């Protein structure tokens, strides 16, 4: 639950959330630029190795932390789900327009709402049901099944979104048992270890330029999560959440200016419906003292 004494800086919160959206779109752009030059699993593995380097001070500070044996299955399940999610995401990013990736990714909090409501006893009240219905309508506007082909890339991004959502559910449970720093660090370690054998199986020569780009992905992803945390501490979610819609606009601009992708009005409309539904639910959840999940980059 956010500390009400530390939420009185709305302008700062908006600025930090703007940084978040730009950082996450930067991640998308770099992975899109790398395309299919490297296998998705190898790219994801290298990105998480760089992430471990960035987190090294935090990992060193945890060296004396004891983790109960009953928690290991939860950490491993979450790591496995995240391994699948990042593979699906890296594979889709090279094949789906940037704006569509961003719009579909915003379904992550919606999936969490459904899982939490049905399986974790949180219930599906009228507000949550309405948010889910509007968000799913937005997803249909983005994908337009029957009016155009739903590609393997789209299905891969949907699979990534589902895996990220279930991973979040595990994180939510783990956060009640161990410090948040341990949850984050264990995720980085388990994902890197889980990706390693698959990446080595498909390994291809990597250039210094590719390594530099993937290091940039790790830096921007870390920056994005840090900026998001600062935004949450500076202003209420009702203030910062609507700003996330800009991520879809930045993605559309990036796709058009850098990758020559046509601006799709349906994607912007569908993305607005999804973000609007998530934002309204965020406002309602914040009033009840909850912090809803955010989209993964």
Largest CA distance in the chain: 57
Closest to 221 (Cα-Cα) out of 88, 90, 41:
90
Q: Tell me what the pLDDT averaged over the chain comes to.
A: 85
Residue 143 domain flag:
yes
Q: What share of the chain has pLDDT > 90, as a percent? A: 38
pTM attached to this predicted model:
0.85
- The string of pLDDT tens digits covering residues 159-211 is 999 999 888 888 878 877 877 778 878 888 899 999 999 999 999 999 999 99
Please check whether residue 245 lies inside any domain of the structure.
Answer: yes
Cα separation, 269 vs 100, in Å, equals 11
Class of residue 207 by CB neighbours under 10 A (exposed 0-12, middle 13-18, buried 19+):
exposed
| Domain that residue 224 falls in | 4-287
Residue 113's pLDDT is what? 78
pLDDT of residue 3: 47
**145: which DSSP letter?**
B
Average pLDDT, integer, range 134-155: 87
- Please report whether residue 65 resides in a domain: yes
168 assigned to some structural domain: yes
Tell me the three state secondary structure of residue 14: helix
Number of domains observed in the structure of the chain: 1
Q: How far apart are CA 92 and CA 242, in angstroms?
A: 26
Question: DSSP readout, 223-292?
Answer: HHHHHHHHHHHHS-HHHHGGGGGHHHHHHHHHHHHTT-PPP-HHHHHHHHHHHHHHHHHHHHHHHTT---
In a domain, 296, yes or no: no
Contact present, 290 and 158 (Cβ < 8 Å): no
pLDDT of residue 290: 61
Alpha helices (H) in 94-207, listed in sequence order:
98-105, 108-119, 126-143, 152-174, 180-201
The answer to whether position 147 is within a domain reads yes
Residue 278 lies in a domain: yes
5: pLDDT confidence band, cut at 50, 70 and 90?
very low
Residue 292 lies inside a defined structural domain of this protein: no
Radius of gyration of the chain (CA): 19
Q: Say how far apart CA 28 and CA 261 lie, in whole Å.
A: 14
- 130-137 CB contacts, 8 Å cutoff, 24+ apart: 130/277, 131/277, 131/278, 131/280, 131/281, 132/277, 134/273, 134/274, 134/276, 134/277, 135/106, 135/107, 135/110, 135/273, 135/274, 135/277, 135/278, 136/110, 137/273
């Amino acid at each position: 639950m956010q500390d009400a004494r530390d939420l009185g800086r709305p302008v700062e919160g908006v600025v930090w959330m703007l940084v978040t959206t730009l950082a996450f779109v930067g991640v998308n752009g770099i992975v899109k630029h790398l395309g299919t030059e490297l296998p998705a699993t190898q790219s994801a593995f290298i990105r998480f190795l760089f992430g471990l380097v960035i987190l090294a001070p935090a990992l060193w500070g945890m060296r004396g932390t004891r983790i109960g044996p009953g928690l290991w299955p939860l950490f491993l399940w979450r790591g496995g789900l995240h391994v699948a999610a990042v593979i699906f995401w890296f594979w889709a990013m090279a094949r789906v327009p940037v704006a569509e990736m961003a719009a579909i990714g915003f379904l992550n909090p919606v999936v969490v709402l459904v899982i939490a409501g049905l399986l974790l006893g949180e219930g599906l009240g009228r507000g949550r049901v309405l948010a889910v219905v509007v968000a799913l309508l937005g997803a249909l506007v983005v994908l337009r099944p029957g009016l155009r082909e739903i590609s393997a890339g789209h299905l891969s991004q949907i699979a990534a979104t589902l895996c990220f959502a279930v991973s979040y559910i595990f994180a939510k449970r783990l956060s009640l048992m161990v410090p948040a720093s341990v949850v984050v660090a264990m995720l980085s370690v388990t994902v890197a270890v889980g990706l390693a054998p698959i990446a080595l199986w498909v390994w291809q020569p990597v250039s210094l330029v590719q390594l530099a780009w993937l290091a940039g992905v790790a830096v921007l992803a870390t920056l994005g999560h840090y900026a998001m945390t600062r935004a949450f501490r500076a202003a209420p979610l009702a203030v910062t959440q609507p700003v996330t819609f800009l991520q879809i606009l930045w993605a559309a601009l990036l796709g058009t200016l850098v990758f020559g992708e046509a601006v799709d009005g349906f994607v912007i409309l569908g993305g607005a419906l999804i973000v609007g539904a998530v934002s309204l639910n965020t406002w309602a959840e914040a009033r009840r003292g909850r912090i809803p999940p955010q989209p993964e980059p």
